[in-house]
Amino acid sequence: MDERRATMAKQSYRVCWCFRRRFKMRAAEAPREVKELFERYDSGGKGVMSVEDLQRFMTEVQGVETESQSRDEAQAAMDALKHLNIFHRKGLSLDAFFRFLFFADVNPPLDPSLSVHQDMTAPLSHYFIYTGHNSYLTGNQISSDCSDAPIIKALHDGVRVIELDIWPNSKKDNVDVLHGRTLTTPVELIKCLRSIKENAFVASSYPLVITLEDHLTPDLQAKVAEMISKTFGDMLFCPETESFEEFPSPESLKGRIIISTKPPKEYSETKMVNEGSSGKVMDSHDEEAWGKEVSDIKAKLDASDQHNDLDAEDHQDEDGLDETDHISQQNAAPEYRRLIAIHALKPKGKLKEALKPIPDIDKVRRLSMSEQALEKLIKNHGTEIVRFTQRNLLRVYPKGMRVDSSNYNPLIGWMHGAQMVAFNMQGYGRSLWLMHGMFRANGGCGYVKKPDILLKVGPNNEVFDPRATLPVKKTLKVRVYMGDGWYTDFKHTHFDVYSPPDFYVRVGIAGVPVDSVMKKTKIIEDDWKPLWDQEFQFPLTVPELALLRIEVHEYDISGKDDFGGQTCLPVSELRTGIRAVPLYSYKAEKYESVRLLMRFDFV
């Protein structure tokens, strides 16, 4: 027994000043099904699996489709385990087989070799795009610093839409980035632009969109135009025409930077922190450290509201004043206007009218609305939103009362086809975990192709209705075997000062309303390596929009349960079979050792 195991075997907890309680620490042991599978694929019956045996296992259990791939994966597993003392020269022992399955580096739930694999030649409107909100803030929306640091982090994480609020500096002779009329400290625009240039394509080569919330005078707009042109040079996408009949594709715009905002207008300080919030401020104490439960989409769809036709003037669009101010157009900086590749247009009258095609004009456009505007609109106009987003871009941003940088349920926007569901990336919580899960798909490039169900038009001109109950397409079976790694990554008194932790797992689906559900395992008491061995089934009507949610918590009889890790995975890219699932902190930082052993199958 090595020193680590000896230390664990002698673990004890102080119960009072003169008494200590000892707990026996067991070594991780393969679950029953893993043992049975080892015996089934041990063709020689001598307790050793050969490369050929492992290849058959890869094909029949792990769902590897081609013979060459199963052979390569089997050999890679053998090579990865050769440095262990448990490796047998003729193949894998049961212990080595178990180690391989529980080794997240070689057996993760998503294929690490799967890079960008979706069709990237469709218009931009056919993709969900990884979108940030107030990307320059380091923390809350009221008093945190403005900096280029969170912009750099977002770009390294794969975010493809960066938002900058641009204002005159205190001397009115230059341009700052800050959250207007708050206590946030500004950062110079040029510093943000230079950092964007240096980091724009570190994580993805696909286009980066910069959305500008413009509060500038025409002379400063001209100065911004010069800054942007000199900083980005040939990287900047400047189309020959002001508008498109169809947006370009991500593939055609690789390595390009795109500016999106409303056309120039008079300098205006219209945005206030409590826009659309009725003066209310979210109390951060209402949320647990890892975020409150994700809001129920069905409740929002079914809720009745006699004032659901939101006026455009009540919509409080972030992008500024109405474009129809002809006087300001005469004073606008033409060089600034020419840089705008994607025009964001403000609706006139009822917000629902903005979803309709403009008579005699077949041009695509970008519309921006708050989360509460979307929630009101979907109650009676959900299919119109889906139809609008088949050709046009829809950006949804957090309501003003989210001053703690919390977020909303992104599925509300995605299931209606919204491409730019803008999130406070500087925040934390379950809603942000869903965002991370969605954009783990398609090689993490920041663009995920919308499912065909959101893009097609039926024979009677009908489109997908998010309210409709559709037949089950497939059922996802999830078995939670066991977990390990907490003893390595946490202090042994982190969860309980008197005993080892009592872990349980919450597992479920985030998707369309009928598919969304959370279930949980039994609680395993006093065990750092809990063995649950429980199976759950999730019928899916729209599996293309489904995300698998996984959380581990430690039961606390006297108070709030402790957090033990989480992850969120796109169901469409899950690898079937037995997989080692690495977990992350509530801040989305990957734990070094914490992981679950799980099995995924579709029936």
Q: Is-contact 434 410, C-beta < 8 A?
A: yes
Report the distance separating Cα 245 and Cα 228, nearest Å.
26
| Angle (CA) 392 396 401, round 5° | 160
Give catalytic residues, as residue numbers: 133, 179
Residue for token pair 């982090």: 153
Biggest CA pair distance of the chain: 87
Question: How many other CB atoms are found less than 10 A from the CB of residue 461?
Answer: 7
Q: What is the DSSP string of 349-386?
A: SBGGGGGSPPTT-----EEEEEHHHHHHHHHHHHHHHH
Structure tokens at 64: 């590897």
Question: Using CB atoms within 10 A of its CB, is residue 23 exposed (0-12), middle (13-18) or buried (19+)?
Answer: middle
Report the distance separating Cα 594 and Cα 575, nearest Å.
20
Contacts of 140 (CB under 8 A, 6+ apart): 403, 404, 405
Structure tokens at 264: 């120039």
Q: Is-contact 243 363, C-beta < 8 A?
A: yes
| Angle (CA) 404 409 413, round 5° | 120
